Structure 1
Amino acid sequence: LKPCWLESCVAYRDYIEACVCMRSQDSRQNAKRIPRLPRGLRGHPEEVRRLTFAPWHAEQQPSCCKRAYGRLANWRPEISNPTIIFVFLVVTGAMVNFDSGGTAAVLVLLGRGCPTEGVPDPHYPCLSEADKGILGAVPFLGLCMGCPLVGHLVLRHGEKHVLMAGLACNVVATAVFACVLNKYWLWLAKFCVGLTQSAICVFSTVWVSKYAPARYKTLWYGLNQSSVAVGTLIGYAVCGYLVEMGVYYQHGFKIQAFWLAITCVLFTLIPSSGLDTRSDPDMTAEHVERGGRWGKPCSSPPQAESALKTLYRLRGEDGPQESWDVVFQDKVSSETPLDSQTQLALLWERPIFLTSMCSLCGVYFVVTAVQYWISQYFIVNFHRTGAEVTTVFIIVAGSAPILGVLSGSAIVDHVGGYETASQMARTSALTVVWGLFAVLAGIVSACVQPGPGSNTGGFY
């Protein structure tokens, strides 16, 4: 005799097989039938009872519309390609500098609200020449104060959160600048614009240093830096032509705020892993070694490097230095957090960094002054129309940075880059020669004197 529990198991097995056979049939009549429980299955588990009395229509496959709706509801778009992210960072960097060119284009209009200009226009602010100078200086003051703050925040929070917070605050500051007329509010808004755009300025350079392909790193650095000039050019063109067409000057900055708001939303599509510069050090080493994500070998494999070092050691010679950073060995481990004084002390020991920063300060002193005052200077002193000044500025400012970035990056990459000490020396010599040409051009342009009436030769 079989025990009772064994008979129950056999009956349960027969019942499950009957259910499977009935579900495999396609007829509607069999689909509506509900099988009875075989004898001896009383006291079976609750899960079996639930499955037994479940309606058959619940097990049917969903329709195509329901499946498509489910896929659409669960779809989460992501931008993970480093090239697309780089283009996105360049476009964002250009748009945060839109107001720099836009302010220069409408600078001559920012004094219409003053009674000294005749009948004051209440729809325009009243800024003197000194006030206009402060308006152009406070964004850079905010940028200088924001860069160390952003670096401190990035060390303690995710790069994506810091970047999105900076962009969101930049949208608010730009919108305020596009809606106020009081000079103090204009100064405050401009200061906040510079303070909040420091996030993208700091992060984009750090991101390029990690994700840029080794063969095109100089080009990526140049394109990243040229986003400032491109944004200034776009802002100058949009605001300059809108004003000439009779559009109120604040509408140009509202366009910038709207575009930055869209950019801030699009940043949510980029995963944190695509922006985090500290999350995957192994990927970074492979990325740089193989020339980026295109799989092009840019350096010798580890076996070749080891063999080369062994050969140098057998010959009693020192191997070639692999990087310029070897010249200045850090006195502390890279994993040890450094305080501000130690970081400043390390920077003072790097003459290349100090001389480069001093040179950039001199370059931007001239470039910023010329770019900011050129519109008012040509309109007032050379008696030119705003449309003509805008067109000439677009031609000059649009061609020079692009040609400089492309030719300079190509030359630096052709001579070997700046990874080793010898390559850095050659690059520094080329930079000095390049700077001498800029000095000569500046001296010639400074000798041009505006004359009364139309001065076409001096203008062009």
Structure 2
Amino acid sequence: MENEEESKSQVQNTEENLSGQTLHSKIRFRVFFIMVCANALLNYDTGVIPASLDHLDIGSKLSHSEQAAIGSLVYVGICTSSLIVSIVFQRFSASKVLITMLILNSIFCLLFSFSYNVYFMYLTRFGMGFTQAFCVIYAPVWTNEFAPCDTCTRWMGILQCAVPLGVVFGYGIASLFNSLDIIFLDWRFAIQLQAVLEIPLILSLKVIDKSYIDIINPQDLVSSGEKSPRGNEVRIDVISLTHFSVFWDQMKMLFKNSIFVFLTLSLCCMFFVVSGIQYWITQYCIKVLHAKKILVVIGFVIISTTAPILGVLTGGWVADYYGGYKGKNILTAMRICLTFGLLAFMSAIPSCFVQTVVVEIFLLWLLLFFGGCIVPAATGIIVNSVPKEFQSSSSSVSQLMFNFGGFFLSPLMSAAIMDLFTDEIDALTWGFRFTLSVSFLSLIFITLAFSVILKGEIQYEVQFENSDIIEDNSLENLQEIIRRVKPIAIS
């Protein structure tokens, strides 16, 4: 009898544990769904602004530089808030931080939608970027910690795909509202819609127990240059002001690494081109190529949703097919990057001169596709070209350069070119050509990185051939030699 009661008790406990695990899984999936929706919604305005450049009326016509600043200042906000993200999450509950920042983001969206002063628009756009960074930075960290082991990569991929989908959703909604010619249905209402849609996310985070949202111990959350006192580190790839001196020392070491510098600059130039195309393509196609708005909208959606994603998948598959990017395969991976970089540049050249919108969209699709093909191998080489203790710092510096040198500067620099012309068509033509021409710089930096790696391999082979006795320890990984190659001066 006692054995039967014990067995029944064990079965009951097992069932309770299984039901508890199922409940935990459902709640965590719910949190993940909220993170995905938040990531998409926080990038929604990035699509609204390019679709509404001709409709940003504040009583007077905005110059191209003013239009560009409205889009670019979001990235200044992101870069600024990234300096304090780790400090905030270490001292406050992540659940409360995310809820607070979503509320503030919703308020800034509403203030921006009611703005009729360009400087107040600048301030609110900065605020939108500052507040969105907390969720955008924390979401991958949470996913990496709490996603099921067998679906972690899938969850991370879904989270990343939410960004372009949010941009396309915002672009489509704004284009629809701007074309209806109905009072109150315009870009302002599209931004107000973003503020309203954030409310369900805020309420959902509020009702979920914070233990499902917070990292188990906030002290384990560290940024570049920091270490957890407990030894269990959950790393956020941002720069922390509290350990800036340590980070600065690591950054000086990173900039002695030619591979890191050249490939990071190459990707930065690529994101410069992507951002410029995304920002000016609507005005360029309508005013210069005289295309219909509906055709431009369809083209934008096709380019944004298919070209970069298919490019990244194709580039990853090609790199894996030829052995990946580690060890001796690093030279092959660089050849792949160089080939795709050349194809991207060859697509950019005719894009500057064609006069047919369908051909233009096709060439831009090829440009973004081949650009996307570069990302997997180049990113892998960047990560593996620095010592492990510097990898978090390298990621932080890379993200800062991408946000500032790519996404922030692209609209502003192309707008500065446009403001040199009095004729609108000439302005858009040369501004767009300038944006596309930066793809040549990306190719140059890839070539420089390739030359450094090639030089490193030649040194390795000479050392190997001249050695009479070769011990196992002398057969170092090629990447270790590349790390010691002296920097090449760019003349």
**1:393 matches 2:300:** yes
> Is 1:364 equivalent to 2:268 in the alignment?
no
Give 1:374's aligned amino acid: I
Cα distance change of structure 1 residues 346 and 439 upon mapping to structure 2, 3 Å threshold: same
The gaps in structure 1 that reach 5 residues or longer are: 1-76, 114-121, 285-329
CA displacement 1:286-345 (0-9 Å, x = unmatched):
xxxxxxxxxxxxxxxxxxxxxxxxxxxxxxxxxxxxxxxxxxxx9977548972212343
Alignment of 1:41-440 (within 5 A): 81-110=27-56, 122=59, 126-246=61-181, 247-279=185-217, 335=230, 339-346=243-250, 358-404=265-311, 430=333, 433=336, 436-438=339-341, 440=343
Q: Distance in 1 between matches of 2:197 and 2:130?
A: 19
**Aligned in 2, Cα 1:363/1:451: closer, same or farther, shift over 3 Å?**
closer
Counterparts in 2 of 1:414 and 1:90: CA distance versus 1, 3 Å: farther
Structure 2: gaps of 5 or more residues: 1-22, 232-239, 363-491
**Shift of residue 412, structure 1, vs aligned partner:** 8.1
Separation in 2, partners of 1:406, 1:269:
37
Shift of 1:205: 2.1
Instruction: Give the letter aligned to residue 244 of structure 2.
Output: S
* Letter in structure 1 aligned against 2:180: M
- The Cα of 1:107 is off from its aligned counterpart by 0.9
**Deviation per residue, 1:105-147 (Å, 9 max, x gap):** 011222x56xxxxxxxx4xx53111111111211111110011
Secondary structure of the corresponding residue to residue 81 of structure 1: helix
Shift of 1:274: 1.5
* SS across alignment from 2:84: helix
Give the Cα separation in 1 of the matches to 2:267 and 2:140.
16
Deviation at 1:232, TM superposition (A): 0.8
Contact 1:175–1:254 (CA<8 Å) still a contact in 2? yes
The 1:169–1:432 alpha-carbon spacing in structure 2 relative to 1, beyond 3 Å, is farther
- 3-state SS of 2:62 partner: coil
**Would you say the 8 A contact 1:99–1:235 is kept in 2?**
yes
Using a 3 Å threshold, how does the CA distance of structure 1 residues 188 and 340 change in structure 2: closer, same or farther?
same
After superposition, give the CA deviation of every residue in 1:425-444 in whole Å (9 maximum; x if it has no partner): 86996587357425522442
Amino acid at match of 2:199: A
Q: Aligned residue for 2:407?
A: none
Q: Deviations over 1:218-249 (max 9, x none)?
A: 44333323322111111111111221122322
Matched-pair identity in %? 25
Q: 1:455 to 1:252 in 2, by over 3 A?
A: closer
Kept after mapping to 2: 8 A contact 1:143/1:198: yes
Decide whether aligned partners of structure 1 residues 343 and 371 sit closer, same or farther in structure 2, where only a CA change above 3 A counts: same
CA RMSD, aligned part only?
A: 3.7
Q: Could you tell me whether the CA contact under 8 Å between 1:180 and 1:186 is conserved in 2? A: yes
Aligned length: 322
With CA pairs under 8 Å and 6+ residues apart, which has the higher RCO, 1 or 2? 2
Change (3 A) 1:227 1:427: farther
Please say if residues 102 and 236 of structure 1, whose CA atoms lie closer than 8 Å, have aligned partners that are also in contact.
yes
Q: Distance in 1 between matches of 2:119 and 2:82?
A: 24
Cα pair distance change 1:333/1:145, threshold 3 Å:
closer
Scaled by the length of structure 2, the TM-score of the pair is 0.57
* Map of 1:448 onto structure 2: 351
Between the aligned partners of 1:414 and 1:276, the Cα distance in structure 2 is 39
Task: In structure 2, give the amino acid aligned to 1:445.
Answer: A
Distance 2:151 2:264 in 1: 23
Higher gyration radius (CA): 1
- CA distance in structure 1 between the partners assigned to 2:51 and 2:109 by the alignment: 16
Q: What letter corresponds to residue 375 of structure 1 in structure 2?
A: T
Deviation of the 1:385 alpha carbon: 2.2
Distance 1:359 1:149, change over 3 A: farther
SS in 1 for 2:99: helix
The change in CA–CA distance for 1:262 and 1:219 in structure 2 (over 3 A counts) is same
Aligned to 1:293: none
Which whole-Å CA distance do the structure 1 matches of 2:253 and 2:266 have between them? Answer: 17
8 Å Cα contact 1:151-1:202 kept in structure 2: no
**1:88 partner letter:** I
Instruction: Output one character per residue of 1:401-454: Cα deviation in whole Å (capped at 9) or x when no partner.
Output: 443465567788999999xx75xx8699658735742552244234234567x6
The answer (yes or no) to whether the contact 2:101–2:132 under 8 Å persists in 1 is: yes
Structure 1 Cα separation of the partners of residues 43 and 29 of structure 2: 22
AA aligned opposite 1:386: K
Residue deviations 1:347-371 (CA, integer Å, cap 9, x gap): 5556687777545433322211111
Return the TM-score normalized by structure 1: 0.60
2: CA distance between counterparts of 1:151 and 1:331? Answer: 10
- Describe the shift of the 1:78–1:218 C-alpha distance in structure 2 as closer, same or farther (beyond 3 A): closer
